[in-house]
Chains A and B, each alone.
Chain A
Amino acid sequence: MNEDVIDVNHFRKVYNNFIAVDDISFSVKQGEIFGILGPNGAGKTSTLECLEGLRAPDGGDLRIAGINPVRELAKLRNVIGVQLQSAGLPESITPDEAMKLFCAYHGVKPRMDLLERLSIAEKKNTQFYNLSAGMQRRLALALAIAHHPRVLFLDEPTAGLDVASRVELHNLMYELKTEGTTIVLATHDMAEAESMSDRVAILLKGRIVTTGTPMQITAAGAGLTKISVNTQNRCLIHPLITFPSVEQFITHDDYNIYFSTDIGVTVAAIIQYIQEHDDVIIDLRVERPSLEDRFLEITNAGGVS
């Protein structure tokens, strides 16, 4: 679990005069789910494409399980699995043919069980262009993991998937992680990144502006924690009641909602007030700022966090 499977050191990618990625470094450990987040043009795709061996970096050093993706492409292909944003399959190929073809090139037996697992088996003889968008993405995922890669790159894996397919995909990701597969997840879905990733890196204008666990990143922000309280006798209803560290206050559906800069102080004061007024708490919820809130905070500030 402690071994670094992906090592990126001072990586740089330039297209003509445009610097797509500017001197970034990070590492990902075995069995870790690492989220790469950033607005369009932040350098996510360039980073992924160089790690996948699709493009050559213009500076720095990249290693996947000790393999140089540019010089050792033949070795790399059995180590990584990639679900590209566009499925990248011929229109007329069927899931059955695609599975047999890709597995043959990887020298493994076709994984028809994956077609079952990802609910593609009943359409295994349907041509690719006749599959739904969700099914096309599930097929791309099945092909990406069929050869048991050590590192899996997922680019917007749940785009176009229905709720049940999303849950299935997330379960599959957890299973792969448990088996020791390292997963690099590039997504615009902040809720997905927050719930699935062990660590995330936020890229902006080709640089990593912050990296850490979703908890660490959200905690580092200036966001206000939302405290929602509902009591039996509505003792908090009086508009003039104030609590320490509360910046904003609103009411909604029998709830008093406070936005606090210091949850410990505010929650303690609220509970004390309720007890002093012989009231009973029906519901109390504390919601910290989400990764999305923090992401917007960082991107709106232009990367100054």
Chain B
Amino acid sequence: MNAFVQHFLFEFRTGIRNKQLLLMNYLFPLGFYVLIGIIMPKINPLFLENLIPALVVFSILSATLLGIPDPLVNGRENGIYRSYKINGIPATTILLIPVLTTLLHLFIVAAIITVTAPVFFDAPLPTNWWRFILVIFVMAIACAGISVLIGVVSPNSRMTVLWSQIIFVPCMLLGGIMIPYNMLPGIAGKIAHLLPATHAMNSFKGLAMGGTADFSAWGSMVVLVAGGLIAFGLALFLFSWDSRNTKRRGTVWLAFLFLLPNILGILFLL
């Protein structure tokens, strides 16, 4: 337990000490929040209703997809995990601790956004706080699971950026952050179901912000939890301690199985 706490504290400090992580955990989300808070309500006054959930989802995407994978790839490529293996640090801990520390960072950022948005931008507060926190937690689990999986299967930092952006950019465009889900044309709506941001925005709307969900809000929560857990399980299964002369337990294409709950969501969520 002491070892786990020591490891957690070190990784948490790294999230602030490391310039890249500081950027992804705090500076980028909070900078974007200020910018969007100033600009968007003037362009589209209705955006104000979604300001807090949209910016919280953005913070989660930034901290997880842009923050988690690269250190995992570096750890493997620079022999850090070899040293961890020799000293008895389990693979589960290596993958779980970045998830937990990122969760803590993004809850701090979410709290800053939620507390300041009504003061600075007149944004409405959540109507159900417990569900609001639950949706943040579930979305964080989903994105952290996917991010860990990207870090495990990417052969290098460049591929990490590519995989992360393949999820991050569509989330921004189609995930209900900038454009509401109900304004998307048919096929775009189906594609949007593959994205965690869509389900998070739908859950926020239906469960925490006093609105009406576009499709089953609890169904979205199930998709997020299932996707996150499957992604984390796949990451554990495909984890390798180093990349030289090493065979994984399965092909990296298995990683796409994390989309299974989202695909089922397209078929069954109404």
Using a CB–CB cutoff of 8 Å, the interface residues on chain A facing chain B are 15, 52-55, 73-74, 77-78, 80, 82, 84, 86-93, 97, 100-102, 104-107, 127, 143
Q: Are A86 and B245 in contact (CB under 8 A)?
A: no
Counting CB contacts under 8 A, is B131 at the interface?
A: no
User: In the complex, what residue of chain A is closest to B11 when comparing beta carbons?
Assistant: A90
Known: A90-B80, A92-B14. A77 touches B7 (CB 8 A): no
Q: Are B78 and A15 in contact (CB under 8 A)?
A: no
Counting CB contacts under 8 A, is B241 at the interface?
A: yes
Known: A84-B79, A88-B82, A92-B14. A100 touches B87 (CB 8 A): no
Known: A53-B85, A77-B88, A82-B86. A88 touches B78 (CB 8 A): yes
Kindly state the separation between the CA atoms of A106 and B7 in the bound complex, as whole angstroms: 13
User: In the complex, what residue of chain B is closest to A93 when comparing beta carbons?
Assistant: B10
Tell me the smallest distance from the CB of B223 to a CB of chain A, in Å. Answer: 34
Kindly state the separation between the CA atoms of A73 and B82 in the bound complex, as whole angstroms: 13
Tell me the smallest distance from the CB of A129 to a CB of chain B, in Å. Answer: 10
User: In the complex, what residue of chain A is closest to B19 when comparing beta carbons?
Assistant: A92
Query: Most chain-A Cβ atoms within 10 A of its Cβ — which of B3, B7, B17, B74?
Result: B3
Give 18 new A-B contacts, CB below 8 A, not counting A93-B10, A106-B87.
A53-B86, A54-B82, A54-B85, A77-B88, A82-B86, A84-B79, A87-B79, A89-B83, A91-B18, A91-B74, A92-B14, A97-B10, A97-B13, A104-B2, A104-B3, A104-B7, A105-B3, A127-B17
Q: Are B245 and A15 in contact (CB under 8 A)?
A: yes
Per DSSP, chain A at the interface is loop
Q: What mask results when residues 75 to 97 of chain B are scored 1 for a CB within 8 Å of chain A, else 0?
A: 10011101111111100000000
User: In the complex, what residue of chain B is closest to A45 when comparing beta carbons?
Assistant: B244
Q: Are A88 and B10 in contact (CB under 8 A)?
A: no
Kindly state the separation between the CA atoms of A100 and B86 in the bound complex, as whole angstroms: 16
Write 9 A-B pairs (CB below 8 A) sorted by A numbering: A54-B242, A77-B87, A82-B83, A88-B79, A90-B10, A91-B18, A100-B6, A105-B88, A107-B3
Q: Are B78 and A54 in contact (CB under 8 A)?
A: no
Tell me the smallest distance from the CB of B153 to a CB of chain A, in Å. Answer: 21
Interface pairs A-B: 8 shortest CB-CB? A88-B83, A104-B3, A77-B88, A88-B79, A104-B6, A105-B3, A86-B79, A82-B86
Known: A80-B86, A97-B10, A127-B17. A89 touches B80 (CB 8 A): yes
User: In the complex, what residue of chain A is closest to B242 when comparing beta carbons?
Assistant: A54
Residues of A within 8 A of B89 (CB): 105
Tell me the smallest distance from the CB of B78 to a CB of chain A, in Å. Answer: 7
User: In the complex, what residue of chain B is closest to A147 when comparing beta carbons?
Assistant: B87
Kindly state the separation between the CA atoms of A92 and B19 in the bound complex, as whole angstroms: 10
Kindly state the separation between the CA atoms of A104 and B5 in the bound complex, as whole angstroms: 9
User: In the complex, what residue of chain B is closest to A110 when comparing beta carbons?
Assistant: B6
Query: Most chain-A Cβ atoms within 10 A of its Cβ — which of B5, B17, B74?
Result: B17
Q: Are B6 and A101 in contact (CB under 8 A)?
A: yes
Residues of A within 8 A of B84 (CB): 88
Tell me the smallest distance from the CB of B84 to a CB of chain A, in Å. Answer: 8
Q: What mask results when residues 107 to 147 of chain B are scored 1 for a CB within 8 Å of chain A, else 0?
A: 00000000000000000000000000000000000000000
Q: Are A54 and B14 in contact (CB under 8 A)?
A: no
Residues of B within 8 A of A92 (CB): 13-14, 17-18
User: In the complex, what residue of chain A is closest to B7 when comparing beta carbons?
Assistant: A101
Tell me the smallest distance from the CB of B137 to a CB of chain A, in Å. Answer: 27
Kindly state the separation between the CA atoms of A87 and B80 in the bound complex, as whole angstroms: 8
Tell me the smallest distance from the CB of B241 to a CB of chain A, in Å. Answer: 7
Residues of A within 8 A of B10 (CB): 90, 93, 97, 101
Q: Are B245 and A74 in contact (CB under 8 A)?
A: no
Residues of A within 8 A of B5 (CB): 104
Q: Are B6 and A88 in contact (CB under 8 A)?
A: no
Kindly state the separation between the CA atoms of A73 and B74 in the bound complex, as whole angstroms: 24
Tell me the smallest distance from the CB of A121 to a CB of chain B, in Å. Answer: 19
Q: Are B3 and A74 in contact (CB under 8 A)?
A: no
User: In the complex, what residue of chain A is closest to B14 when comparing beta carbons?
Assistant: A92
Q: What mask results when residues 26 to 67 of chain B are scored 1 for a CB within 8 Å of chain A, else 0?
A: 000000000000000000000000000000000000000000
Residues of A within 8 A of B17 (CB): 92, 127
Kindly state the separation between the CA atoms of A291 and B108 in the bound complex, as whole angstroms: 61
Q: Are A88 and B88 in contact (CB under 8 A)?
A: no
